């Protein structure tokens, strides 16, 4: 055993330098705001493949989108839970759309809260052919909670591929992160629609951001080469 259990965690299918570079290139591309939607009638058009970010309010969704794209203010972060009640769409380099989903979990009754959350979001998740994956964010200090489990079931039902991302790893000791990580992995393994790898990130110190970029670049359309019309 090493002193730092984190060093022992498996790589994401052994990412190569080329994968990391592909991720860097994608996220170095232009990223522009497409739409803020509060109903099915004003969603962004299904123009490209999409990756959505879901999780409790305050889990760090907007911060993660900003860290991935290297822009501090692209997605509005907030100290006040529950401010984002819209689906916010961004176009990344004309190769992939990013969707910042409304947060859930700030009401005292998880079930009623998820029902409210899911009216629009559930419709979005089940009818969105361009949606390639939902990144489900969980604060590594809290671990997976009741509301998160309801979302996992909802994603399974919608047959959307999803992956767990543990956020704010800078706030815990490596041993504590490792514990949450094992729990999250065991829980993800019970779900058919879950991607087997659990991502560890910090939008503050940048941990796991390059790996997540590399992973997401695999879902993006190929870069246009200079010769293309
Ligand atoms: N220490 C630390 N704080 C974070 C991290 N990610 C987000 N935060 C803070 O958590 C709060 C909520 O973040 P935000 O991105 O708005 O969460 P959202 O509601 O899920 O979009 C803000 O105060 C962020 O600065 C992180 O990786 N590390
Ligand atoms: Mg937000």
pLDDT at 88 over 80: yes
CA distances from 23 to 28, 61, 66, 217 (A): 8, 19, 15, 5
Task: Say what the pLDDT of residue 108 is.
Answer: 60
Task: Say what the pLDDT of residue 56 is.
Answer: 92
Task: Say what the pLDDT of residue 126 is.
Answer: 87
Ligand 1 atom 6, closest CA: 60
Kindly give the distance from the C-alpha atom of residue 7 to the centroid of ligand 2, in angstroms, as a whole number.
30
Kindly give the distance from the C-alpha atom of residue 43 to the centroid of ligand 1, in angstroms, as a whole number.
25
Report angle CA 95, 211, 30 to the nearest 5 degrees. Answer: 30
- Ligand found nearest the CA of 78: 1
As residues whose CB is below 5 A from the ion ligand 2, the structure lists: 61-62, 84
Nearest to 170 by CA among 144, 198, 204, 199: 204
Confidence of residue 113 (pLDDT cuts 50, 70, 90): low
Task: Say what the pLDDT of residue 221 is.
Answer: 94
Kindly give the distance from the C-alpha atom of residue 70 to the centroid of ligand 2, in angstroms, as a whole number.
16
Ligand 1 atom 2, closest CA: 168
The mean pLDDT value of the chain amounts to: 86
Kindly give the distance from the C-alpha atom of residue 86 to the centroid of ligand 2, in angstroms, as a whole number.
9
In tens, the pLDDT along 2-30 reads 444 444 444 566 789 999 999 999 999 99
- Ligand found nearest the CA of 200: 1
Report angle CA 103, 162, 119 to the nearest 5 degrees. Answer: 40
Classify domain 13-217 by CATH architecture: 3-Layer(aba) Sandwich (3.40)
Task: Say what the pLDDT of residue 82 is.
Answer: 46
Q: Which residues pair with 134 in a beta bridge?
A: 52, 162
User: For the sheet containing 50-55, what is the strand order?
Assistant: 31-37, 87-92, 96-100, 50-55, 131-139, 162-167, 199-200
CA distance 50 to 16: 23
- Indicate the top mutation candidate among 52, 53, 60 to test ligand 1's pocket, ranked by most ligand atoms within 8 A of CB: 60
Task: Say what the pLDDT of residue 78 is.
Answer: 53
Task: Say what the pLDDT of residue 15 is.
Answer: 86
- The contacts of residue 149 (CB under 8 Å, 6+ apart) are none
Task: Decide the pairing of beta strands 87-92 and 96-100.
Answer: antiparallel
Pairwise pLDDT comparison (97 vs 106), residue with the higher score? 97
Task: Say what the pLDDT of residue 4 is.
Answer: 44
Q: Which atom of ligand 1 is nearest to the CA of 57?
A: 19
Task: Say what the pLDDT of residue 29 is.
Answer: 94
Kindly give the distance from the C-alpha atom of residue 129 to the centroid of ligand 2, in angstroms, as a whole number.
24
In tens, the pLDDT along 139-192 reads 999 999 998 998 999 899 999 999 999 999 999 999 999 999 999 999 999 998
Task: Say what the pLDDT of residue 107 is.
Answer: 63
Task: Say what the pLDDT of residue 84 is.
Answer: 52
What residue ranges line ligand 1, CB within 6 angstroms? 55, 57-63, 77-79, 84, 103, 167-168, 170-171, 202-204
pLDDT at 81 over 60: no
Kindly give the distance from the C-alpha atom of residue 42 to the centroid of ligand 2, in angstroms, as a whole number.
19
Q: In the chain, what are the domain boundaries? A: 13-217
- What is this structure's pTM? 0.89
In the chain the beta strands, taken as DSSP E runs, fall at 31-37, 50-55, 87-92, 96-100, 131-139, 162-167, 199-200
- Ligand found nearest the CA of 57: 1
Confidence of residue 39 (pLDDT cuts 50, 70, 90): confident
Task: Say what the pLDDT of residue 75 is.
Answer: 66
Q: What is the dihedral of CA 104, 180, 153, 133, to 10 degrees?
A: 80
């Amino acid at each position: 055993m090493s002193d730092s259990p984190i060093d022992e965690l498996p790589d994401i299918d052994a990412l190569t330098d080329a994968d990391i570079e592909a991720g860097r290139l994608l996220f170095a591309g232009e990223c522009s705001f497409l739409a803020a939607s509060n109903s099915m009638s004003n969603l962004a058009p299904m123009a490209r493949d999409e990756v959505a970010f879901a999780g409790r309010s305050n889990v760090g969704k907007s911060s993660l989108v900003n860290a991935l794209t290297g822009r501090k203010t692209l997605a509005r972060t907030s100290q006040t839970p529950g401010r984002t009640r819209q689906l916010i769409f961004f176009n990344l380099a004309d190769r992939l759309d990013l969707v910042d989903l409304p947060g859930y979990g700030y009401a005292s009754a998880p079930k009623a809260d998820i029902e409210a959350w899911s009216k629009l979001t559930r419709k979005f998740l089940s009818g969105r052919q361009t949606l390639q994956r939902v990144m489900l964010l969980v604060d590594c200090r809290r671990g997976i909670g009741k509301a998160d489990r309801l979302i996992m079931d909802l994603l399974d039902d919608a047959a959307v591929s999803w992956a767990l991302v543990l956020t704010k790893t800078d706030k815990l000791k490596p041993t504590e992160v490792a514990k949450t990580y094992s729990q999250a992995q065991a829980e993800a393994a019970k779900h058919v629609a879950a991607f087997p790898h659990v991502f560890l990130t910090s939008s503050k110190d940048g941990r796991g951001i390059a790996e997540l970029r590399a992973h997401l670049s695999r879902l993006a359309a190929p870069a246009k080469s200079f010769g293309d019309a």
